[in-house]
Structure 1
C-alpha cells in the first residue's frame, strides 16, 4: 500500500484486514458469488482483492498510483475515500478499485455477470500471491465462471 506514498490508517487499511474483523464478529454475509469467492481467498491468503463489474467500467484498464487530492465514492451512502498515493485499478473514467476500497461506480451487484478481479499481491510474498491467484481461479472455474484468465503483473 505504501508503494506510492499512501499511509494506511483507520478506514484506509487493506480490505483484507476488514474481512478478518468482520468474519471474527460473524458480520460477514454473502454478497454474490464473485465477491464471496474473493472474500474466501482474501481471508485465507491475507491479500486484498478487488472485484469490479466490467459492464459498469470502461476500457482501457491500467494500474496507476493516484495523484494528489484524488478520491472516489466507495459506498451507496456516498462516502468518499482519499486515495492519494495509492496504487489503483483505473478505467477510462479514472480510479475504480484498490487494495483498500473499491469504487461504488464499478461495484458488483445482484445482476453482475462479468467481472475483473485484481489480487493486490506483494513482491515480499510472491509464492503466497501466486498460490492465491491459482486458488481464486480454481474456485471461480469450479463455480461455473464462463472464462477465467490469470496474469501476474510486476511493477
Structure 2
C-alpha cells in the first residue's frame, strides 16, 4: 500500500522537529515553534509576540526548539537552552517557572513528574513541578531512542566503544 500526501505546506526555515497536536502540526524550526493548521495549512508562530515576558526567547541567539508536550491544557516548550510553559494562545502560562538547562539538550522525554533532557555526555533529570535538578547521569555518546509514560530507552557507548541500550524504568512510579 502506498500513501499519498494529504496536503502540502511549506515553512521557509530549517525544521528540526514535528509534533502532532489535535488539529494542527507544531514544527520546530529556526524561527521557533510554528503551528500549521491541518485543515487550511495556514501557519503562525506558537508564541504571541505581544507577550513581553517571552522576550528572553527572541533575545537568545542560536536557541533551537526541540520538543513540545501538552500538559493540563498548557504546552511545555523545550528548547536547547531552556523550557517554559505557554497557554493555547501562546502567552506565558507560568511566569515564575522556567528551566535553564545545564547543557544543550538534543532530545527530551517526559515521565511525570520528571522531565529528562538528553545531550551526548549526560542526562539531566528535573522535577516538572518545581524545576528542581534531581539527578545527572553521565555517559558517552548518549542518545534517546524511545520514550513512553513508563519507560525511556536510550543508548550510550561503554569503555570499549560498544553501543549499549539501556532503559529508565518508571513502572513502579505512581500513575
Global fold match (TM > 0.5): no
Work out which of the two has the higher radius of gyration on C-alpha atoms and give 1 or 2.
Answer: 2
Larger RCO (CA within 8 A; separation ≥ 6): 1
Relative to its length, the structure with more helix (as a share) is 1
Scaled to the shorter chain, the TM-score interval is under 0.3
Relative to its length, the structure with more strand (as a share) is 2
